[in-house]
Amino acid sequence: MKSIPAWLVMVVATAALLGWAAWRVSDGSWPVLVVVGLAAVGFSWWSYPRRGAGVRHRDTLGTEGKPIMDVVIYWRPGCMYCEALRRGLGKLQKSATWINIWADPEAAAYVRSVNEGNETVPTVVIDGTPHTNPSPGLVKERLLQAGA
């Protein structure tokens, strides 16, 4: 059975929110439309599958297939644990390499290979060793060691 694309789920959810808000406007509830409209736009941005699609999994590997980057964080939009890690790292988050597994099939395959077939994120690779949903403290420590 083929799965539903993530972008389609996002579009349908956003359309449903906006449809509900438009229906409420017929009752004269303009503030509801504004609030729900802003929420729908925020939800769309937060869950958009292509957000952060810059770095690819293959860019993190050297010629021998070994990691060439100190800290690589595999994430996906809409993941509350990924957002918690991002917030927990504060300004140090910019020192890590972030790879969106929804935008990179090779990254998703790698995450499955180190998580018993599951796309569990955040999966953080520190000096070649994968860590599933590590504490921000562990990641911060390594980023600070790397001179972030």
pLDDT at 49: 47
The most confident of 16-20, 76-80, 81-85, by mean pLDDT: 81-85
| Mean pLDDT confidence for 89-114 | 90
130 has which bridge partners?
125
Helices (H), the chain: 6-25, 30-47, 80-89, 105-114, 136-145
Confidence of residue 136 (pLDDT cuts 50, 70, 90): very high
Task: Assign 126 to helix, strand or coil.
Answer: strand
Q: pTM of whole model > 0.95?
A: no
